[in-house]
Amino acid sequence: MKKLAAILLAALLLVTAGCQSSGGSNSGSSSSKAPANSSEQTAPTGDPVVLDWVFTKAGFDASPEPHVILQAIEEATGVRLNQISPPMASYGEQIAVLMASTDLPDVIKLNTISSMVDYAEQGALRPLDDLMDQMPSVVASVSEKAFTTCSFNGSIYAVPCITSSHRLNVAYRKDWLDKLGLKVPETLDDFHDMLYAFTYNDPDGDGEQNTYGISGAAGGSSVGSTSWPFEMVTGAYGVVGACNGYFYVGDDGNLHPQATNPSVKDALEVLNQWYQEGIIDPEFIVMSGSEMQQRAYANAFGVALTWWTGAQSYENNMIKLDPTVDWADMGGPKGPDGTSALRGVNEVDYPVCVLYNCEHPEAFAKVTEYCHTEIGMMTTYSGIEGVHWEKRSDGTYHTLPEFDNCSNWIQFHALYQNEWPLLQVQTYLLEGRLDSQKWDIITNAADGYVTESEVKYSADLNSMVLQTFCKMVTGEIPVDNFESFCQEYLNNGGQEWADEVTTIYKSRNS
C-alpha cells in the first residue's frame, strides 16, 4: 500500500492495528433488531491476516494508540485491519482517486449504490455470493430488499450498511425558547415566529444583534447535518429528499422526482421571504457540517436540521463552558394543509465492497460477521466491555466513566451502521435517537431501485437541485424560474431516470 499512501498522503489518515494489547484504555428498521447471533467467535490462532479497509466514520476523531477496538477485532477474528480514513469532507473525491490508482485496498466503503454498480460493471469489485454462508448473522439481520439493492447482474456486490428511516431531528435552543416565553412551534407560522424571535429578540442576552433563527450546511459533507437544510419547510408541503434523488407516486401512478414536485415552489417562496427578513443564516450556502457545528458553539443560530444525535452533541460540548445551554429536538412544523414531515432515510446507507484484488475474502467475511454479532456491535460502537461499558444482570447496557473520556473517537471503527447497540446503551445521545422515532416522515418511493440512469445522471442532477434551490432561497435565481428549472432537470436525464424507476415500481406493485 505504499503507492496508495503516497497518492492520498495529504488527505488520508492511516490507522494501523499493529500495536500491543493495552488491557484497557486511558484515553427502527431491520438495523435496530437484536443481533441474530450474539455468541462470540472462537478466538483464532496463528499469524493474523491483514486487510486494508477504507472507511471513515463522520463526526468522530481517529482513535488513539493502542487502538484497543482494532485489537479486539483482531483477537476475535484473527484479522488485522489497516483502516484508511479519508476526510469526510472530501470522501467521494478521495475514493475516486483511490479507485483510479494501481495500488488498491482490499475492502472499501463506497458512498453511493450507483458507484457500487459502476465499479461492479467495470470489474473492480468481487461478488460476495460465495461468502454468504460464512456470515450467518449478516444474512439473518439484513433484509432481502437491502441485498437486492446491493446486487448487480444477479450477484451480491456489497454488504449493505442498513439504517432506520427515522434519522433526522429539528434541533433547537430550548433555553432561548424558554427565555423568550415561546412554546414549541406547531405550525409553519409558529416556526417562522420562533426564528424571527431568535434573530431579533437577543436570545443569547449579549445586547447585540448577532444571532440567526436557522442555519444549515449546504456547502459541504455533513457532520451532524444534511446538505439541504430546510427539509422541515419543504416537508410541510409534502416534499422531502428533493436534493437526494427521491421520487413520489403521482396521481397517474408513475414515479416523479421530488425535485420537480410543484409543491416545492410554494416552500421556496416561503424560504425566500424568510431569507429577505434576515432570519436565515446567510452562511448556510457555503458552510460544511463541521463549520456549522462551530457556529452552533458560538451561539450564532438557534435551529438546524440534524442527524438524530445533533442536539445532544451540541449541548454536550457547549455546557462545558455554559451550563445553561439547552438544546432539544422537535419534528417538522405543520404546513397549510396540516402536513408535517421530515425526510425518511433510505434503508441502505452505504455499501461495503470487496475489491477484485483481495487475496483473503474469507477474512472480510470473518470481520463482517463479527461486526453483526452482539459483542462485535457493542465493541465497534461502544468500546471494550468492562472498560467503556457493561451489561448488567437485567440485560441492560450502561456506559462506564471511561466511555465519556473516549466519546470523541469511540465509533471511529464502527465499520457497519447497525443501530441495535445505539438504541441499547444508556448515553446522553440516546434521547435524540428516541426522539427521531416520533416524527412523521416521507420516504423515497424508489428506495432500493438502482438504474443505469441513476448511475449516469444522479450526481449531476442532485448537485444541480441543491445549487438551484439555494440560489432561489437567497434570491440569486427568482423562484418564478422553478418551472424552467424542472424542464432542465428532466431534459438532463431526470425524465429518463423517472421512466426507469417507474418501470421497476410498476413491476413490483402490479
- Per the model's pLDDT, the better-predicted residue between 106 and 28 turns out to be 106
Grid cell listed for 295:
457556529
| Judgement on whether residues 236 and 311 belong to the same structural domain of the protein | yes
How many angstroms separate the CA atoms of 416 and 5, rounded? Answer: 24
**Residue 392 and residue 447 in one domain:** no
Q: Are residues 402 and 288 in the same domain?
A: no
Q: Are residues 224 and 112 in the same domain?
A: no
- Range(s) of the domain holding residue 187: 168-343+441-508
Q: Are residues 338 and 464 in the same domain?
A: yes
> Three-class SS of residue 195?
helix
Percentage of the chain beyond pLDDT 90 is 74
Residue 36's pLDDT band (boundaries 50, 70, 90)? low
Query: Is 350:97 a contact under the CB 8 Å cutoff?
Result: no
Top-confidence residue, 31 or 441? 441
In a domain, 366, yes or no: yes
Domain assignment of residue 423, yes or no: no
Binned at pLDDT 50, 70 and 90, residue 188 comes out as very high
Q: Is the pLDDT of residue 394 over 50?
A: yes
| More reliable by pLDDT, 162 or 188 | 188
Question: pLDDT-based confidence at 420, cuts 50/70/90?
Answer: confident
Q: What is the mean pLDDT of the chain?
A: 89
Last residue of a domain, one of 400, 415, 430: 415
Q: Residues 170-196: what's their mean pLDDT?
A: 98
b/e 459-497 (16+ beta carbons within 10 angstroms → b): eebbebbbebbbbbbbeebebeebeebbeebbeebbbbb
List pLDDT tens digits, range 421-479: 777 787 777 888 899 999 999 999 999 898 999 989 998 999 999 999 999 999 999 99
Residue at 12 is within a domain: yes
For residues 339 and 353, membership in a common domain is answered with no
Residue 211: partners with Cβ closer than 8 Å, 6 or more residues away: 198, 199, 202, 203, 204, 299, 300, 301, 302
pLDDT band at 235 (very low <50, low <70, confident <90, very high): very high
Say what the pLDDT of residue 1 is: 56
* Long-range own/partner contacts, residues 434-439 (CB < 8 A, 24 or more apart): 435/169, 435/308, 435/329, 436/164, 436/166, 436/167, 436/168, 436/169, 436/308, 436/329, 437/28, 437/164, 437/166, 438/331, 439/166, 439/168, 439/169, 439/331, 439/332, 439/340, 439/341, 439/342
The model's confidence at residue 367, banded by pLDDT at 50, 70 and 90, is very high
Q: Could you tell me what percent of the chain has a pLDDT over 70?
A: 90
Rounded to an integer, the average pLDDT of 67-75 is: 97
**Has residue 255 got a pLDDT over 50?**
yes
Taking the CA atoms of residue 30, residue 121, residue 135 and residue 94 in that order, the dihedral angle to the nearest 10 degrees is -80
pLDDT on residue 35: 60
Contact 42, 370 (CB under 8 A): no
Tell me: pLDDT of 34 over 60.
no
- Cα 346 from Cα 349, distance rounded (Å): 6
Question: Please, which pLDDT band fits residue 222 given cuts at 50, 70 and 90?
Answer: very low
Domain count, the chain: 2
> What's the CATH number where 357 sits?
3.40.190.10
* Residue 452: Cβ within 10 Å count: 14
Same domain, 194 and 301: yes
- Please give the backbone phi and psi of residue 453, each rounded to the nearest 5 degrees, phi first: -65, -35
pTM (2 decimals)? 0.80
139 pLDDT above the threshold of 90: yes
Do 327 and 384 reside in the same domain of the chain? Answer: no
pLDDT band at 41 (very low <50, low <70, confident <90, very high): low
Mean pLDDT value across residues 30-49: 58
Task: Give residue 497's identity as a one-letter amino acid code.
Answer: W
More confident residue, 499 or 220: 499
457 located within any domain: yes
* Gap between the Cα atoms of 457 and 69, Å rounded: 39
Note the pLDDT of residue 42: 56
Q: Answer yes or no: is pLDDT of 296 > 60.
A: yes
What does the pLDDT read at residue 43? Answer: 56
Last residue of a domain, one of 381, 415, 449: 415
Strands 212-214 and 327-330: unpaired
User: Exposed/middle/buried for 145, CB within 10 Å: 0-12, 13-18, 19+?
Assistant: middle
Radius of gyration of the chain (CA): 23
Q: Are strands 107-109 and 49-54 parallel, antiparallel or unpaired?
A: parallel
Write down the pLDDT at residue 70. Answer: 97
Cell of 193: 415566529
CB within 8 Å of 168: residues ≥ 6 apart: 226, 231, 305, 306, 307, 308, 342, 343, 345, 436, 439, 441
471-506: per-residue pLDDT in tens? Answer: 999 999 999 999 999 999 999 999 999 999 999 999
* Mean pLDDT of the 15-42 span: 41
Q: Are residues 199 and 321 in the same domain?
A: yes
Q: What is the pLDDT of residue 33?
A: 52
- Do residue 240 and residue 310 come from a single domain? yes
User: In which element (H, E) is residue 109 found?
Assistant: strand 107-109
Q: 3-state class of 328 per DSSP? A: strand
Is residue 417 over pLDDT 80?
A: no
| 257 domain residue, yes or no | yes
Both 302 and 379 in a single domain? no
In a domain, 420, yes or no: no
Mean pLDDT of 205-222: 87
138 and 255 fall within a common domain: no
- What residues have CB less than 8 Å from 242, skipping those under 6 apart? 228, 234, 257, 258, 259, 261, 264, 465, 469
- In this predicted structure, the answer to whether residue 39 has a pLDDT above a threshold of 50 is no
Domain-embedded: residue 17: yes
Cell of 506: 410498476
pLDDT of residue 425: 80
Residue 431, domain member (yes or no):
no
How many Å apart are CA 200 and CA 278, to the nearest integer? 9
β-sheet bridge partners, residue 51? 81
What are the residue ranges of helices labelled H in 34-182? Answer: 68-77, 91-99, 113-122, 136-141, 144-149, 174-179
Mean pLDDT of 291-295: 92
Taking 50 as the threshold, does the pLDDT of residue 6 lie above it?
A: no
